[in-house]
């Protein structure tokens, strides 16, 4: 066998040397801005056409790509487990072979906890188990009773599927690819670097630009989906604490005025936060976020339905693990019969939607995971990133959702939680538990917590988009670009909500995630090729790590 050369460790990406776009890749930045700006203008100028086209594309994707998304996420789980088990891969570090982890285990797990307990928890930890308690594939197939105790654990099996190992395996793939090629090979901290084993220096040109553009658009639409849910819940909370009935319409959803006010508040705060970098303001905000999260979870564990929550956590997790292989690989296809159509519709509306959402979120969360995991082995990273955040999600779902289900079963809620909008369910539940005065105080606390989640999610997304646009440079970014992406993100959410509500954002996100899902498959191939060839290099005595150990601070 011919002796291998050291791996590629130089991937020049042309950036502007002066002017408004100094330090930014013109090809990536301008194209991304035009694409996102075009989407906003189209949705605002031609709302009926935009709604119809997005709806048609959504129908087409669900009919033709549902199985792609199902098998894609199954692939990510298999790849993560394979990398953890593979001896040659598991021992390799995201960094120099002698490098120590940048953060101790407690700090590392805490930061992953922060990433795992996002704004989606406040909506779906109550709303999703309640929904699946009423209907899920087991109910559709006649194997369980809607709203019956025989369906209790099924509600958690399906909830855990969407927020457990599958979701975090997609983040782990993105994070591992970014960490491996940035911290072992010194390549730019940007998406294209993860494909260098497949395409080499060609990624310096148009092909690499295309990869980064796809990642930027997927990130914007993925975060827009999160903010869309957050805006609906923020408006529901503001209405609950008495800011004004004009915030919601007759159906209980956010009104046009409510959406606009919420977007201005959230994105204004997020843009200011992004402009401040990682100063005292963001640190203060993060401390409030963590403190309120622990308080709310402790409240639900102590004063909620503790026994139901324990059952959901332990028995639900066991049921999930036993059922996981079947759930991962099952694709429901409509054959013209009513049950098959119901199963296909359920999977498209829940599982396929979630898988697209997590793929769109992967550049954002993956880059964060990579940045906090330098010095970790691949085995540590994969198992830590898959298991720890998943367990945190399970705890939230079990005690928040378990309390809601118990309250409906024993008649205390009397259908009120079932009848609330998804965003309002947590406010309805805590209001029934605590009464008017204490319920109002808890609603204020949840609104503040929601605000901190939304602000930290949005400002992080803006900074990460700018990192990709700046060819992986994490340094200070020009203020006008931060303001542009902050405003653009707000406009995307507002325009799509006004055109077709959350369904329009969901559709745009599913469409935007599709090209990036192809990039993620290539990431898997690139990782396996790089790790295999690095093993050969080590046996031949050829250098496989091309970065130096960072100097101690």
> What gap in Å lies between CA 83 and CA 173, rounded to an integer?
10
Q: How many residues does the chain have?
A: 553
Q: Say whether pTM exceeds 0.85.
A: yes
CA distance readout (Å), 357 to 167, 474, 486, 513: 9, 25, 20, 7
Residue that has been written with the tokens 């040659």 in this structure: 88
> What gap in Å lies between CA 426 and CA 428, rounded to an integer?
5
Q: Residue 459: is its pLDDT beyond 80? A: no
> What gap in Å lies between CA 177 and CA 383, rounded to an integer?
15
Average pLDDT over residues 223-240: 82
> What gap in Å lies between CA 302 and CA 400, rounded to an integer?
11
Q: Residue 210: is its pLDDT beyond 60? A: yes
Rg (CA), the chain: 23
pLDDT value of position 553: 45
pLDDT value of position 284: 66
CA 273 from chain centre, in angstroms, equals 20
Per DSSP, the three-state class of 254 is strand
pLDDT value of position 74: 96
What's the mean per-residue pLDDT of the chain?
Answer: 85
Tens digits of residue pLDDT in 494-522: 877 777 666 777 778 888 889 999 999 99
CA 152 from chain centre, in angstroms, equals 26
Q: Residue 102: is its pLDDT beyond 60? A: yes
Fold of the domain spanning 29-540 = Amino acid/polyamine transporter I (1.20.1740)
374: left (phi over 0), alpha (psi -120 to 50) or beta: beta
SS (H, E, C) 463-516: HHHHHHHCCCCCCCCCHHHHHHHHHHHHHHHHHHHHHHHHHHHHHHHHHHHHHH
pLDDT value of position 160: 96
Tens digits of residue pLDDT in 439-457: 999 999 988 888 888 877 7
Q: Provide the H-helix boundaries in 276-413.
A: 280-303, 306-329, 338-347, 353-372, 378-396, 402-409
DSSP 205: T
Average pLDDT over residues 144-172: 93
> What gap in Å lies between CA 369 and CA 510, rounded to an integer?
23
Q: Residue 58: is its pLDDT beyond 80? A: no
> What gap in Å lies between CA 351 and CA 346, rounded to an integer?
8
> What gap in Å lies between CA 280 and CA 288, rounded to an integer?
12
Per DSSP, the three-state class of 248 is strand
What is the DSSP secondary-structure string of 416-456? HHHHS-TTTHHHHHHHHHHHHHHHHHHHHHHHHHHHHHHHH
CB-count exposure of residue 536 (10 Å: 0-12, 13-18, 19+): middle
CB-count exposure of residue 458 (10 Å: 0-12, 13-18, 19+): buried
CA 138 from chain centre, in angstroms, equals 27
Average pLDDT over residues 477-482: 76
CA 448 from chain centre, in angstroms, equals 21
pLDDT value of position 279: 46
Q: Residue 413: is its pLDDT beyond 80? A: yes
Determine contact, residues 430/152, Cβ cutoff 8 Å.
no
In the structure encoding, which two tokens stand for residue 405, read together? Answer: 């289900």
339 band by pLDDT with thresholds 50, 70 and 90: confident
Tens digits of residue pLDDT in 6-49: 888 888 999 888 888 888 899 999 999 898 888 888 877 887 78
Average pLDDT over residues 516-538: 92
96 band by pLDDT with thresholds 50, 70 and 90: confident
Tens digits of residue pLDDT in 252-297: 677 778 888 888 888 787 777 767 654 445 556 666 777 888 899 8
Handedness of CA 90, 96, 97, 103 (dihedral sign): negative
Q: Residue 129: is its pLDDT beyond 60? A: yes
pLDDT value of position 269: 79
């Amino acid at each position: 066998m011919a002796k291998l050369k050291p791996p590629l460790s130089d991937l020049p990406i042309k950036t502007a040397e002066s002017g408004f776009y100094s330090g930014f890749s013109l090809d990536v930045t301008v194209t991304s801005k035009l694409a996102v700006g075009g989407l906003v203008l189209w949705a605002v100028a031609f709302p009926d056409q935009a709604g119809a086209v997005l709806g048609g594309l959504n129908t087409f994707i669900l009919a033709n790509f549902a199985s792609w998304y199902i098998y894609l996420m199954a692939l990510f789980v298999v790849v993560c487990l394979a990398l953890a088990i593979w001896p040659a891969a598991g021992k390799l570090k995201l960094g120099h072979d002698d490098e120590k982890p940048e953060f101790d285990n407690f700090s590392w797990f805490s930061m992953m906890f922060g990433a795992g307990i996002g704004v989606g928890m406040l909506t779906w930890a109550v709303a999703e188990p309640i929904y699946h308690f009423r209907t899920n594939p087991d109910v559709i197939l006649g194997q369980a009773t809607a709203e019956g105790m025989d369906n209790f654990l099924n509600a958690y099996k399906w909830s855990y599927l969407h927020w457990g190992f599958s979701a975090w395996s997609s983040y782990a793939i993105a994070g591992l690819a970014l960490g491996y090629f940035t911290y072992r090979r010194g390549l730019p901290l940007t998406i294209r670097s993860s494909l260098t084993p497949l395409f080499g220096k060609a990624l310096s040109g148009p092909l690499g630009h295309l990869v980064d553009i796809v990642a930027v658009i997927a990130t914007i639409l993925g975060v827009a989906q999160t903010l869309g849910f957050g805006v609906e819940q923020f408006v529901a909370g503001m209405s609950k604490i008495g800011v004004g009935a004009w915030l919601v319409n007759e159906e209980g959803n956010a009104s046009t005025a409510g959406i606009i006010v919420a977007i201005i508040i959230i994105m204004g705060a997020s843009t200011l936060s992004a402009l401040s970098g990682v100063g005292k303001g963001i640190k203060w905000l993060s401390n409030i976020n963590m403190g309120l999260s622990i308080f709310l979870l402790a409240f639900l564990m102590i004063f909620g339905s503790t026994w139901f929550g324990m059952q959901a956590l332990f028995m639900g997790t066991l049921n999930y693990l036993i059922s996981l292989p079947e759930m991962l690989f099952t694709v429901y296809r409509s054959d013209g019969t009513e049950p098959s159509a119901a199963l296909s519709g359920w999977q498209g509306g829940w599982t396929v939607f979630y898988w697209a959402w997590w793929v769109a979120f992967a550049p954002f969360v993956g880059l964060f995971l990579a940045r906090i995991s330098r010095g970790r082995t691949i085995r540590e990273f994969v198992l830590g990133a898959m298991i720890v955040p998943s367990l945190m999600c399970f705890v939230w779902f079990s005690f928040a959702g378990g309390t809601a289900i118990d309250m409906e079963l024993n008649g205390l809620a009397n259908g009120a939680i079932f009848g609330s909008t998804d965003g309002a369910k947590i406010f309805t539940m805590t209001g029934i538990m605590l009464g008017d005065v204490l319920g109002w105080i808890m609603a204020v606390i949840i609104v503040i917590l929601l605000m901190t989640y939304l602000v930290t999610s949005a400002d992080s997304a803006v900074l990460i988009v700018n990192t990709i646009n700046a060819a992986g440079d994490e340094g200070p970014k020009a203020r006008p670009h931060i303001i542009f992406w902050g405003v653009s993100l707000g406009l995307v959410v507002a325009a799509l909500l006004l055109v077709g509500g959350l369904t329009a954002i969901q559709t745009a996100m599913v469409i935007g995630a599709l090209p990036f899902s192809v990039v993620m498959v290539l990431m898997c191939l690139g990782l396996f090729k790089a790790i295999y060839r690095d093993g050969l290099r080590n046996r031949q005595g050829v250098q496989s790590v091309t970065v130096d150990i960072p100097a101690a601070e």
